[in-house]
Structure 1
């Protein structure tokens, strides 16, 4: 009886380890780039909803401020701010552009992409802008927990739509405690397993890899 109990306990422990380890390993092993380049034609900043008063929320603020740092460091001479009024009536691209310009980025270096409703569309419409301007490389900036899923989307850009890319994480907002950060990462880790197993399905704005 004791041996049976230990055997069952072992099964439970192994199952629990698999439940936690598989998503984390899947999440952490998603490639973050397809190039070793250090400089790019543009930065792409993925949008996040503005606050109810139209000001940048903590994640949006950190994404833009990271882009400003990268711009000042000479990583790219242009910034595409991507995001429509997907969650409220404030256009994310406009709010982000205003913040970047307030931080000293020249207005002629900032492009507002104001059509995207989600991450898939962020990349699609930003790539359209890149093609129009003859740009073939980008550093994509977003919150750290969001970037593995973004990389899975970027991997679909092959053939005529291919471009050189890497992802780059903004800082966690100081307003976010440790537990909130864990929740965000865990939710995305679970989602990454599903996406790696089943893909995104047919999406209008996602090239078929």
Structure 2
């Protein structure tokens, strides 16, 4: 019995170390380009009243900032109702419009329920429109896993991309402490490496 417990604990440790190393060496992009066809902003939940949480606001605001800098002529806002009944892309679009982005420069992807979906559905939109490159904006702690996922897109949907971390605007009163967020991301990375990259993989 002790032998099985020891073996199980060792396996868990190996998986966690694998995930940590994968995050450290995760791709930050596959292009040296500085201008893109689109800026993809990965979703984060609004609150139950539809108001942007600090983290959602940070991601969208950074997307707007990059748009205003001329990094790309449009924003793809991706996220469905993954955590409550508020569609993240629609909440994000309200923020972008309030910050001066015209509706004509906003593209909604309102179905994604995971980061894999974010990447897959956004890449499909890009291919349908003939767009080939994107800056991907998300929270800094989320960038490593997002980078793995964008790097693993099927060849038919592959795009030129680089990651860009949104600076924090302030604490989210409903968020976990920093160490818990990091632990959660490591756990999600383990799931991605062992299971989700195949079971939930993107199809063209």
In which range does the TM-score fall when normalised by the shorter chain? 0.7 to 0.9
How far apart, in 2, do the equivalents of 1:127 and 1:46 lie? 12
Counterparts of residues 28-67 of structure 1 (less than 5 Å): 28-67=24-63
Q: For residue 146 of structure 2, what is the aligned residue in structure 1?
A: 150
The reply to whether residue 75 of structure 1 matches residue 71 of structure 2 is yes
How far apart, in 1, do the equivalents of 2:191 and 2:85 lie? 32
Q: 1:138 aligns with which of 122, 134, 139?
A: 134
How far apart, in 1, do the equivalents of 2:147 and 2:124 lie? 18
How far apart, in 1, do the equivalents of 2:19 and 2:138 lie? 21
Contact 2:48 2:85 in 1 (8 A): no
The reply to whether residue 103 of structure 1 matches residue 99 of structure 2 is yes
How far apart, in 1, do the equivalents of 2:125 and 2:14 lie? 42
Ranges in structure 2 where 5+ consecutive residues have no aligned partner: 1-12
Q: For residue 188 of structure 1, what is the aligned residue in structure 2?
A: 185
Ranges in structure 1 where 5+ consecutive residues have no aligned partner: 1-16
How far apart, in 2, do the equivalents of 1:77 and 1:185 lie? 33
Contact 1:26 1:189 in 2 (8 A): no
* Larger Cα-atom Rg: 1
The reply to whether residue 171 of structure 1 matches residue 151 of structure 2 is no
Normalised TM-score (structure 2): 0.83
The Cα offsets for residues 96-115 of structure 1, whole Å up to 9 and x where unpaired, read as 01101100111110111111
The Cα offsets for residues 100-134 of structure 1, whole Å up to 9 and x where unpaired, read as 11001111101111111111111111112111211
Contact 2:46 2:91 in 1 (8 A): yes
Contact 2:15 2:190 in 1 (8 A): no
How far apart, in 2, do the equivalents of 1:88 and 1:197 lie? 27
- Report SS of the residue matched to 2:135: strand
Normalised TM-score (structure 1): 0.81
Q: For residue 5 of structure 2, what is the aligned residue in structure 1?
A: none
Change (3 A) 1:91 1:34: same
How far apart, in 1, do the equivalents of 2:17 and 2:86 lie? 39
Contact 2:76 2:108 in 1 (8 A): yes
